[in-house]
Amino acid sequence: MIQKTIVPVFVIIALSINVYSQNPTEFFQCGDSIIDARDGETYSTVLIGEQCWMKENLNVGIIVSDFEQKDNQVIEKTCYSNDAANCGAYGGLYTWHEATQWGQNEQGICPDGWRLPSKDDWQILVSELGIEDAGQRMKVSKDHTPSWDGNNSSGFTAIPGGVGYENNFGRMDKWAVFWSSTSEDDNYAWFAQLDNFWYQAPPKYKTLYLGNHFVKENGFSVRCVR
């Protein structure tokens, strides 16, 4: 009788441990750091309104040169100027196809429990931070490494990682462009763009611009939301 009573107790404990280990985001609170189980990369998070955002650009995947990212069920990234050190500093650059995992689902290449933000997600962020000042509040300041010309009062911590297309790269330290999951048509998708202060007077550099005129083959940064 004693043995029959003890055995079920051990079974229940083992099952409880398995459930916890298979659902690592169950006890997550925004502001906690997360570890991407796929590669061990750590990301900080920040609550902005009712949205939880990663504070760093995603940097998951196998490095491939010149955006030779293919539909092969393997996450692939390209580093600015094909220099692996730039992925470490700025995160990877991804085509829209790769970022969405070729349209597979809204999670795209984000970790479990996170998703690639939609056009609506970016619009909600703008509304929360204010149309006139959202960009300035998202960009890091001159004291951050790498530096920029914002104040980061939102905690979003946007950095100017530049963009790329095929074997061409440009606008590092001047642009941050992030994909959304929202497709416009077969060739174009929605994106969110931050620009540096290159006018003598604001306001353009202070805003977050949402557009749909860049082709899906461009290499942009990725932020994840939940």
From the centroid of its chain, how far is CA 81?
A: 20
pLDDT at 174: 94
pLDDT at 26: 65
60 within a domain of the structure (yes/no)? yes
Closest to 138 in 3D by CA, of 170, 177, 109: 177
Closest to 58 in 3D by CA, of 102, 120, 21, 100: 100
Q: For 109, which DSSP code?
A: T
- Split into its structural domains, the chain has a count of 1
pLDDT at 220: 98
Spell out the per-residue pLDDT of the chain, length 226, in tens: 333 333 333 332 232 222 223 344 468 999 999 999 999 999 999 999 999 999 999 999 999 999 999 999 999 999 999 999 999 999 999 999 999 999 888 999 999 999 999 999 999 999 999 999 999 999 999 999 999 999 999 999 999 999 999 999 999 999 999 999 999 999 999 999 999 876 565 666 899 999 999 999 999 999 999 9
pLDDT at 105: 81
Tell me whether the omega of the peptide bond preceding residue 202 falls within 30 degrees of 0, making it cis: no
Cα–Cα–Cα angle for 150, 30, 43, rounded to 5 degrees: 65
146 within a domain of the structure (yes/no)? yes
21 within a domain of the structure (yes/no)? no
Q: Which domain holds residue 51?
A: 28-219
Closest to 69 in 3D by CA, of 222, 183, 173: 222
Rounded Cα–Cα distance for residues 217 and 65 (Å):
14
Q: Which two tokens stand for residue 49?
A: 């309104």
224 within a domain of the structure (yes/no)? no
Task: Determine which helix (DSSP H) or strand (DSSP E) holds 51, and give its type and residue range.
Answer: strand 51-54
Rounded Cα–Cα distance for residues 61 and 180 (Å):
18
68 within a domain of the structure (yes/no)? yes
5 within a domain of the structure (yes/no)? no
Say if CB 111 and CB 224 are below 8 A apart.
yes
10 within a domain of the structure (yes/no)? no
pLDDT at 2: 35
Task: Determine which helix (DSSP H) or strand (DSSP E) holds 89, and give its type and residue range.
Answer: helix 84-90
19 within a domain of the structure (yes/no)? no
Say if CB 59 and CB 75 are below 8 A apart.
no
Q: Residue 64 in 3-state DSSP? A: coil
Say if CB 84 and CB 198 are below 8 A apart.
no
